[in-house]
Amino acid sequence: ACLHALVDDWGFDDQQFAEFLAPCCSGLLHRVLPACKELESHTLVFNLLNVVIERMGDLMRPHVEGLLALMPGLWSDQGGQSLVQILLALQRLVNVLGVESNVAYPLLLPMLQYATDPRQPDALHLLEDGLGLWLVAVRNALTPEPGLLGLLPHLALAMGQSTEHLQHACALLASLVLLGRDPFVAQFHAELNTIFVGSLGNVNERGHLLLLPVMERCLAAAPASAPQALQPALLKLLGMVLKGKESRVTVAAACCVLARLLLHSPQTLLDLLAQAAAQAFGLSWKAAMTALQAIETRQLLRSCTLAMTAASMRN
């Protein structure tokens, strides 16, 4: 408690504490933690370790490999909710490593494989923080790592069970598609459609405002593959707009997705949209325009309306 109060103090000087960093971490993990028998004690030790990592920042870098070497033993010795603390510590360590986080992959990827799987027995305790660690790893990755991208089936399975993790899922999808681009969308289009189709129409307005920008980002980041690969999800989204039952804000966000589709692949939208549906869509489009606030978004939609008209005339 005294050390926690010292490190977490407003006037804490990380430079002065640097010389004590190695013995502090070693003592916590080698002596204090093995002596703890209760979950509460484990939690206190890991909370202190997480505070130390967070406050020391880049000064932790020389000690990260040593801490990572201890994690497999800690992981095998702990269980249930204690594993959550290890995942939280790993999030901070990966952030410290930054673009060099690939050195942690031999440890990180097996842990993520387990912690993000909703079928494993500890899923109730681990899934949320496992998704958080996955997100941190993806955002610090320099290149598309198959072990990170290949976890998407776990996310699709989790989203099929519940929309509880929608916010984490949307943040992950946005980062994954920026990292993997067209190859990622082409390889995992089935899982992406499972997530989008299963969520569209089954979440509230706030949920749609999280989900729809991710669909737009897929189209923007993977223009060669996404228009064709995501047709089931785009078709459902188009049907939602045409029915006219969604809120104006949701329709406006949906129109941004369809506008992006028009910019990259006008023919794909025309393939999805019959002439009668196009007229109904035009009415919904005009209604949505008044719900938009950003001038840039209005300009995007206006330009895409012209693109749709030109594409219709060519056909």
Interval 228-239: pLDDT, tens: 999 999 988 988
Q: How far apart are CA 90 and CA 129, in angstroms?
A: 10
The set of residues, in sequence order, having a beta carbon less than 8 Å from that of 121 and lying 6+ positions away, is none
Report the b/e string of 22-34 with b at 16+ CB within 10 A.
Answer: eebbeebbeebbe
Q: Give the residue with greater pLDDT, 72 vs 146.
A: 146
Nearest by Cα to 67 from 49, 47, 44 = 49
pLDDT in tens, 242-271: 777 889 899 899 989 988 998 899 888 888
Question: Quick check: 103 pLDDT over 50?
Answer: yes
Q: How far apart are CA 129 and CA 86, in angstroms?
A: 10
- Indicate the average pLDDT of the chain: 85
pLDDT in tens, 105-126: 999 999 999 999 999 988 888 9
Amino acid making up residue 116: T
Specify the residue for token string 């990260």.
64
The set of residues, in sequence order, having a beta carbon less than 8 Å from that of 284 and lying 6+ positions away, is 241, 242, 244, 251, 255
pLDDT in tens, 30-39: 778 777 777 6
Q: How far apart are CA 32 and CA 53, in angstroms?
A: 17
Q: Give the residue with greater pLDDT, 2 vs 7.
A: 7
Specify the residue for token string 């188009």.
238
Q: What percent of the chain is predicted at pLDDT more than 70?
A: 84
